[in-house]
Amino acid sequence: MVEVPVAVPTDSGQLRGTLVNPDSSAGLVVVFRGVAFARPKAGDPGYLGLARDIAAAGFAALYVSFRGFEDAPGVFTMSGWSQDAEAVMAYAAGLGFERIALVGASAGAAIALRHVALHGGVVGVASLASEALMGQTVPRDYVPEFLAKVGRAAPTPLAPADPDAFYADMLAHDPIDYVARISPTPVLFVQGDADAFVSLDTAGRLFEAAAEPKELVVIPGAGHVLRKDPRAVAALIAWLAEVLPTG
């Protein structure tokens, strides 16, 4: 399958990624990554692997890492990732596809939901294990430890964000405050019922806050990293086939 390297300029530097299956006529799926606590393990393609799975189903797929992870410069904050999201989606819009769908995982799902609520521009948005209230997943007293863990995954050692500022910025990106505004764009929520970070009750609250058209798929026994669960990926691809029909 054809893979084309891409580069997206942002205020923190150039973000690099990959466009998979660029000649697809079925439309483009953009993938937003989740947070990691370590550098990628050998043999794990990460979210590029999810993009490849999506492309194998006949779609074009674009994955660009956000700041603070892989080789992307900058420090992770939710506002920084929101800026990266805007840059990546502007880049995607310039690729010439008539239809674009967006998929996000964990914090990247929170960013994706907020982005579509504020900017639209897609035919559907899918959330894999999104937080509803960011402070539930990362309480204020956990922020220093969380930032230290995130720092282990950074491409280069950088001073972490100020904990108080980071926490306030994180709360400003609570998806539950934005999700109702996504309608009439279709939204899919995929959630594992054994997720140690986002509870099924939290996912249910986010789903209830969303307006139609919406769908919730619960994966029995699945944890937080749904890109590694074939059942979650299959549910995502089935939904993509509805919003981006391949013919």
Contact 77, 169 (CB under 8 A): yes
Q: How far is CA 166 from the centre of its chain?
A: 19
Q: Averaged over 5-25, what is the pLDDT?
A: 95
Q: Which of 121, 49, 109 is nearest to 82 (CA)?
A: 109
Structure tokens at 22: 């660029």
DSSP string covering 21-46:
STT-SS-EEEEE----SSPPPTT--T
Reported as a single tens digit per residue, the pLDDT across 191-204 is 999 999 999 999 99
Q: Averaged over 154-162, what is the pLDDT?
A: 74
Write the CA distances from 21 to 25, 54, 58, integer angstroms.
Answer: 10, 10, 8
Reported as a single tens digit per residue, the pLDDT across 109-141 is 999 999 999 999 999 999 999 999 999 999 999
- Whether 15 has a pLDDT exceeding 90, the answer reads yes
* Stretch among 40-49, 139-148, 149-158 having the lowest mean pLDDT: 149-158
Q: Averaged over 210-236, what is the pLDDT?
A: 98
CA distance 61 to 154: 24
Q: Could you tell me the pLDDT band of residue 90, with boundaries at 50, 70 and 90? A: very high
**78-93 and 163-171 helices, crossing angle to 10°:** 50
Q: Could you tell me the pLDDT band of residue 247, with boundaries at 50, 70 and 90? A: low
- Whether 93 has a pLDDT exceeding 90, the answer reads yes
Residue 11 is given by DSSP the state: T
**What is the phi/psi pair of residue 217, to 5°?**
-115, 120
Q: Could you tell me the pLDDT band of residue 41, with boundaries at 50, 70 and 90? A: confident
100 pairs with which residues across the strands?
28
- Per-residue model confidence (pLDDT) at position 158: 66
